[in-house]
C-alpha cells in the first residue's frame, strides 16, 4: 500500500469509528471529539462522512404514522400485496436513497425464507441503492437472475447493474440476461432470444418467487434516453405511441398495456406478466415517475410498491 492509500484508509477508519460511536455507542459529538482526540467540528464532519460514504447504515425502525396511513391508502386503492412508504428527504433529496432501506427490508424477508427462492431483478439507480442497503445474509442458496441485459450499443456495461453486485455481496448463484439492452435490428434481437442460456434465464424469470424492478419514466429525462440506449427521435416515437413508462426494457401506456414500435422490437427485455400472484415489487419515487407508476399499477404490472411520502401522497390525492 502506498502512502496516499494509507492516509485514505486511516481517514476512512476514523470516520467509521466516529459513526459507530455516535449511532451505536450513543456518544455526543463532544464525547467523540475527546475519544478520538480531534476538535468538535472535525468529529461532526467525521460522523457526516460515515453516513454519506456508507460506512455505517442508518435505518428508522419506528414507522411514522403519516407513512403508515399512506401505505394503507395505497394498498386499498390499488389492491397491493406490499407497500412501503419512506419519509421524504425534502426538496432536492435523493429519492433512491430514501427508498433503498425500505426496499432492502422487503428483500431481506424473502432472503430469510428457508426454502430456496428464485428472485428476479431489473436494474437502475433505485435497485442499485437497495443492494447497498441489504445487510441480512440469505438463509438458503437462492437463485438470483436479471430480467434485462447490461450492455450498451458501444459495448460498455451499465454502472447500475444489480445482479453482479447482489451476487458478489450475498454469494448467491446468479443468472445474467446475456443480451444487449438494445440490438441494431429486431432480427438481431430475435437471434439473441434463441440462445439457450437466454431461454434458460427467461424460464427462470417466469417462475420467479419474487421480482424487484425499477420503474422508468418516459419524459425527456427518460433513463433509456439519458443513458444512450435510444436517441431523441426514437424517444419521441415512443412518446407518440403512448408510452408513459418502462419496466426492464418493455414499454407501456397509461393503462399498463405494452406498446409495440420498431424501437421496442429491438429491446432485449423480459415482459413482466400482468396480475402475477408472486410479489412483483416496483421501487420508484419522484414527481417525474408519477405517470409511469400510475400506468404500472393500472395494468397490474406490479403488485407491490416502495416509494416515498411525497409520491405516495400524490398517488392517493388523485382518487380523493
- Residue 34's domain is classified under what CATH number? 1.10.10
In a domain, 59, yes or no: no
Q: Is there a single domain that holds both residue 36 and residue 95?
A: no
Same domain, 112 and 237: yes
Give the pLDDT confidence of 54-93 residue by residue, as tens digits. Answer: 666 665 555 567 888 999 999 999 999 999 998 876 666 7
Contacts of 91 (CB under 8 A, 6+ apart): none
Measure the CA–CA gap between 274 and 286, rounded to whole angstroms. 24
What is the pLDDT at residue 1? 41
Q: Please indicate, yes or no, whether residues 93 and 234 belong to a single structural domain of this protein.
A: yes
Instruction: Give the DSSP H/E element, type plus range, for residue 138.
Output: none
The answer to whether residue 162 is domain-embedded is yes
* Angstrom distance (rounded) from CA 46 to CA 50: 6
The model's pTM: 0.80
Question: Quick check: is 78 in a domain?
Answer: yes
Three-state secondary structure string covering 204-270 = HHHCCCEEEEECEECCCCCHHHHCCCCCHHHHHHHHHCCCCEEECCEEECCCCCECCCCCHHHECEC
- For the domain that residue 123 is a member of, what is the CATH number? 3.40.50.1360
Please answer whether residues 301 and 280 qualify as being in contact, where contact means their C-beta atoms are separated by less than 8 angstroms. yes
Q: Residue 188 and residue 198: Cα distance in Å, rounded?
A: 14
Number of H-type helices and E-type strands within the chain: 13, 10
Per-residue pLDDT tens listing for the chain (320 residues): 443 344 344 677 788 788 777 776 678 888 888 888 888 888 888 888 877 776 666 655 555 678 889 999 999 999 999 999 988 766 667 788 889 889 999 999 999 888 999 999 998 889 998 998 888 777 678 999 999 987 777 777 776 778 888 888 888 889 999 888 999 999 999 999 999 999 999 999 999 999 999 999 999 999 999 888 999 999 999 999 999 999 999 999 999 999 999 999 999 878 898 989 999 999 999 999 999 999 999 999 999 999 999 999 999 886 54
Distance CA 124, CA 273 (A): 20
**Which of helix, strand or coil describes residue 73?**
helix
The reply to whether 118 and 232 lie within a common domain is yes
Q: How far apart are CA 147 and CA 124, in angstroms?
A: 12
In a domain, 128, yes or no: yes
Give the closest residue to 210 by CA, choosing from 121, 299, 114.
121
- pLDDT score recorded for residue 186: 92
Using the structure block, give the residue that is written with the C-alpha cell 467540528.
41
Enter the C-alpha cell of residue 107: 428483500
Query: 149 and 31, same structural domain?
Result: no
- Residue written as cell 460506512? 55
Pair 173, 311 in one domain: yes
pLDDT, position 24: 62
Same domain, 120 and 38: no
My answer on whether 99 and 157 are in the same domain is yes
Does residue 58 fall inside a structural domain?
no
Is residue 152 situated within a structural domain?
Answer: yes
Planar angle of CA 275, 281, 285, nearest 5 degrees: 120
Tell whether 41 and 150 lie within a shared domain. no
**Does residue 150 sit in the same domain as residue 275?**
yes
Domains: count for the chain: 2
Reported as half-sphere exposure (CB side, CA atoms, 13 A), residue 205 has a value of 23
> Is 57 within a domain?
no
Backbone angles phi, psi at 127, to 5 degrees: -75, -35
Q: What is the pLDDT of residues 188-230, one digit of tens each?
A: 999 999 999 999 999 999 999 999 999 999 999 999 998 889 9
Q: In the block, which residue shows the cell 439492452?
A: 181
Question: Is residue 7 located within the same domain as residue 87?
Answer: no
Judge whether 245 lies within some domain.
yes
Rg of the chain over Cα atoms, rounded to whole angstroms, equals 21
Q: Are residues 94 and 237 in the same domain?
A: yes
Its domain, for residue 35, covers: 3-52
Burial of 162 (0-12, 13-18, 19+ CB in 10 A): buried
Amino acid at each position: 500500500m502506498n502512502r496516499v492509500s494509507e492516509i485514505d484508509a486511516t481517514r476512512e477508519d476514523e470516520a467509521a469509528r466516529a459513526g459507530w460511536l455516535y449511532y451505536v455507542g450513543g456518544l455526543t459529538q463532544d464525547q467523540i471529539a475527546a475519544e478520538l482526540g480531534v476538535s468538535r467540528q472535525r468529529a461532526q464532519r467525521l460522523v457526516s462522512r460515515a453516513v454519506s460514504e456508507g460506512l455505517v447504515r442508518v435505518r428508522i425502525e419506528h414507522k411514522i404514522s403519516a407513512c403508515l396511513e399512506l401505505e394503507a391508502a395505497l394498498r386499498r386503492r390499488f389492491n397491493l400485496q406490499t407497500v412501503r412508504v419512506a419519509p421524504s428527504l425534502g426538496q432536492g433529496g435523493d429519492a433512491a436513497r430514501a427508498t433503498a432501506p425500505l426496499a432492502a427490508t422487503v428483500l431481506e424477508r424473502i432472503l430469510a425464507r428457508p426454502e430456496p427462492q428464485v428472485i428476479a431483478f431489473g436494474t437502475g439507480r433505485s435497485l442499485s441503492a437497495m443492494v447497498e442497503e441489504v445487510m441480512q445474509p440469505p438463509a438458503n442458496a437462492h437463485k438470483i437472475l436479471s430480467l434485462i441485459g447490461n450492455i450498451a450499443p458501444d459495448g460498455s456495461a451499465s454502472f447500475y447493474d444489480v445482479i453482479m453486485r447482489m451476487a458478489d455481496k450475498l454469494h448467491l448463484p446468479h443468472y445474467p440476461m446475456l443480451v444487449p439492452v438494445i440490438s441494431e435490428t429486431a432480427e438481431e434481437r430475435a437471434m439473441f432470444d434463441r440462445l439457450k442460456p437466454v431461454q434458460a434465464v427467461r424460464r427462470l424469470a417466469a417462475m420467479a418467487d419474487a421480482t424487484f424492478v425499477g420503474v422508468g419514466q418516459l419524459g425527456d429525462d427518460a433513463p433509456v434516453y439519458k443513458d444512450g440506449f435510444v436517441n431523441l427521435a426514437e424517444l419521441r416515437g415512443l412518446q407518440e405511441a403512448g408510452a408513459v413508462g418502462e419496466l426492464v426494457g418493455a414499454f407501456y401506456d397509461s393503462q399498463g398495456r405494452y406498446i409495440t414500435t420498431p424501437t421496442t422490437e429491438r429491446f432485449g427485455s423480459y415482459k413482466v406478466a400482468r396480475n402475477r400472484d408472486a410479489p412483483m415489487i416496483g421501487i420508484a419515487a419522484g414527481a417525474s415517475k408519477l405517470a409511469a407508476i400510475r400506468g404500472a399499477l393500472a395494468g397490474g404490472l406490479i403488485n407491490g410498491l416502495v416509494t416515498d411520502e411525497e409520491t405516495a401522497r400524490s398517488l392517493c390525492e388523485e382518487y380523493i
